[in-house]
Amino acid sequence: MFPAAEPVPDLSGADLSRPRQSADGSGFGRADRAVATLLKVPLGRPTATGAQAQSLFRTSIAVSAIRCLISYLAVPIALPFLGTLSNVGPVVEIILSVVALFFDVKALRRFWLAWHAWRWGMTFVYAVVMVLVGVLLVSNIASIA
């Protein structure tokens, strides 16, 4: 009644940090090539380690957390005390957003340099974070103008 299921491959000894074989035999799919080109990551063997990627990920998350704390806690509390300096909050948030975006791109690039097994998952996570920070950045720029 139902077709026989294909056996599940044993990946216990597989190196998941290496890209799967593509149709043309180069080892890199079209999407891998596109992202590698966008991030200026050389195709081939990894030029960074997974540990380096994870370390930079922690730094990137810490920068984002500090940005959130300052933007959503410190600035709203401090603004009433600053009085007439109403543009201070958005300017601080713009600077912090640019720094956060820099570290996000740097950390994402490091995942790709390592050809880390989680590079696609992290690409999605960083893309979402960068879009949200970008929207806040544009909003802060518009509030100053």
pTM reported for the whole predicted model: 0.70
Question: What is the rounded CA–CA span in Å between residue 141 and residue 67?
Answer: 16
* 3-class state of residue 145 by DSSP: coil
Q: Residue 59: CB partners within 8 Å, gap ≥ 6?
A: 103, 107
Residue from 105, 106, 108 nearest 119 by CA: 108
What is the structure's pLDDT at 56? 84
Cβ neighbours around 109 below 10 Å, total: 20
Residue 86, pLDDT > 80, answer no
Q: In which band, very low, low, confident or very high, does the pLDDT at 91 lie, cut at 50, 70 and 90?
A: confident
107-111: average pLDDT:
90
What is the structure's pLDDT at 128? 93
Residue from 134, 133, 130, 119 nearest 34 by CA: 119
End-to-end CA distance of the chain: 67
Between 5 and 34, where is the model more confident? 34
95-113: average pLDDT:
90
Over the stretch 16-51, which tens digit does the pLDDT of each residue have?
Answer: 455 454 445 456 788 888 988 898 888 877 888 888
Domain segments of the chain: what residues? 47-144
Over the stretch 42-78, which tens digit does the pLDDT of each residue have?
Answer: 887 788 888 888 888 888 888 888 888 887 787 777 7
